[in-house]
Chains A and B, each alone.
Chain A
Amino acid sequence: MRYLKLLATYLKINLKAIAIYDLDFYFALAGMIIQNVLNIVALRFIFNIVPRIKGYSFAQLLLTYALATLAFAIFRCFFINALNISDYIHDGRLDTILIKPVNPLFQLVNERVDEDAWGDLIVALLLLIIVDMQLHNPWYITAMFIFISLFTSLIFLGLAVLGNIVALLSNGLANLVETTFDFFDMSKYPLAIYSSTLRLIMTFIFPIGWVASIPQEKIAVEHEWIWLLLIPAACVFFFILIYQLWRVFLQKYQSTGS
């Protein structure tokens, strides 16, 4: 409850900070919307070449795209600051966070919201609704997808934190933070297009297959409702795993001070 209230305060302040750059904000909003539209147009071009990709129609591929974008937009809107953890450590700002009586990761994640992902969020939601209508999916499937996206965004959060931890533990040897964006690119397509090895990796190691491909197949195609629980459970499980790593990392930070 206390954290919910905190969340609201953070959100209010963060949105206020964005509003300061109003001109740029609208540019960004427009930019993101255009980018998405163009992405979709590009996808459409592909279907000018072939009618189906691995059995997926244009509308089905759009659904994968919409699900991935929605989850990623939620990540970007609310968890984007997880990408900056290593900056906080390099310039010592982590100390100012550790001295507050609130969970450090919670503070970190909430210190900033993304300025330009709101366009993504709008497009993804609209697209999801439109595509579901085109595919004649009933309304509750759309609702289920929105529900699931709240959890699948945790996968991106987990990957972002993981990237930071790897970067910091390796003394910057591998700065893999922004790789989260590349993982997002991977999640935009059905698992079916990848090779079997990659499919395994994307299911069990870096769980990006769970973001869009698996929900689409299990919910929209096969209507196996048990996955409504399994998918969030998998996301939460992955995040808890990463969170434990983060705690180990914090301990290391506290013992060396760097």
Chain B
Amino acid sequence: MKYRLMLIKVGIKKGLASKYALIFWLFSTLISLTVQYFLWQAVLTGKPTSEFQQTISYLILMQLLTVLFPKTSYEVNDKIRSGNIALDLLKPVAIATQLLWESIGYSIVKFALIGTVDLLICLWLLNFKIALSTILMVLVTGILAYLLYFELELLLGTFSFYTYSIWGISTFKEAILLVLAGNMFPANFYPAVIKRVASFLPFQYSFGAVGMLAQKPSWALFVQVVLIQLFYIILFNVLFKILFKRSVVSTVIQGG
């Protein structure tokens, strides 16, 4: 546990060191929210304001998750390209552990800055009316979503053992997330078919599902989401371990 705390600290330090990048994130978030705000205002003119409020707060939440979630695939790819992965493999701790706790630290810093701003805007839009149970549900599913996304990134990063670089796969991932995760577009506006397909795939459970709980909290949905999240986290973890082992054995690490 002490080791994990250390890693979190390393992550926090990294975050604080890159405070300028954080300001950029904030700025970028605000621009993006502006676009969403005006777009949905234009779309939902004539509809009850509550629908607009809900949609925007959902989108803000999605934006926040997008910012908070780690970019582990790039880190893994960097390590593979530079050959530094050899050093990590020598350590007695699993590489996934190192990466996870470091990214948590980094995300804490991001949350402190961008999360605060985002949540304030969100609360303001909702007239500061939010149930405690909702916060709890969002928090729990949010954390699980984080883990799920992290596993997904790890898997992607491992692919770069084969493709050597990462941007292609990464673009591909973003494309899938765009529609199936519901992070750019509220999932409840989907046509029924896509809604159904998305509900079986893992992607929604790292984004849209959290937002849906925030919009329409119910314990039944909560339990369902958590179970599916856990299922995918475990599945991905096993997949990653198998894939990683094979990659390390079969691939000559690119050295310099």
Contact = CB atoms under 8 A, between A and B. Distances in A.
Direct contact of A and B (CB under 8 A): yes
Interface of A: 21, 23-32, 34-35, 38-39, 41-42, 45-46, 48-50, 53-54, 115-116, 167, 172-179, 181-183, 185-186, 189, 192-195, 198
Contact of B168 (A31, A173, A179): A31
Contacts, number: 124
Main secondary structure of the interface of B (DSSP, over half): helix
B201 to A, nearest CB: 14
Contact of B31 (A26, A183, A192): A183
Given A24-B164, A179-B28, A46 B189 contact: yes
A186 B178 contact: no
B178 A39 contact: yes
B163 A27 contact: yes
Contacts of A189: 35, 38-39
Interface of B: 20-21, 23-24, 27-28, 31-32, 34-35, 38-39, 41-46, 162-176, 178-179, 184-185, 189-191
Contact of B174 (A35, A42, A48, A186): A35
B255 to A, nearest CB: 18
A24 B165 contact: yes
B168 A25 contact: yes
A46 B59 CA distance: 14
A173 B20 CA distance: 5
Contacts of B168: 21, 23-29, 31, 115-116
A205 B108 CA distance: 35
Given A24-B169, A27-B169, A115-B167, A49 B189 contact: yes
B189 A45 contact: yes
Contact of B171 (A38, A42, A45, A116): A116
B178 A35 contact: yes
A29 to B, nearest CB: 8
A174 B189 contact: no
Contacts of B38: 189, 193-195, 198
A53 B43 contact: yes
Given A24-B169, A53-B43, A45 B191 contact: yes
Contacts of B178: 35, 38-39, 42
A174 B175 contact: no
A58 to B, nearest CB: 12
A24 B185 CA distance: 27
A179 B31 CA distance: 9
Contacts of B162: 23
A185 B24 contact: no
Contacts of B191: 45, 48
Q: Which of A26, A41, A175, A186 has the most CB of B within 10 A?
A: A175
Contacts of B34: 186, 198
